[in-house]
Amino acid sequence: MKMISATLPGSKPDTYLAITNVSHAFWERHDDGGGETNVYNKQVSDGWMEVKDHDVLSGGSVTNQKLDCRGGEFGGCFIWKLVKNDTSSVCTSLYVN
């Protein structure tokens, strides 16, 4: 896991921007006798917020995820990429086979 954060001057007087990037990934290999399965999962998240005193004035974030599974019980290969995720709708994903 990797986390990077920074604080910058805000766009308004007496404000600042808090910016953070978090990323992590794992690779897992499993063989239960029915064939080997390999799973790779990576997530990268970026977020920011503009703060005055202890009040958050605005902010936003985005997360990108890639899930890659090959072999074993899946009978081949598939790759999912998260293409949209927000609080106002159901998470949409892209399936590639």
Name the domain count of the chain: 1
- Find, among 14, 18, 13, 17, the residue nearest to 3 by Cα: 18
Range of the domain at 21: 2-96
pTM above 0.85, yes or no: no
What are the pLDDT digits (tens) for 24-76? Answer: 999 888 777 777 788 888 999 999 999 999 899 999 988 888 888 777 655 55
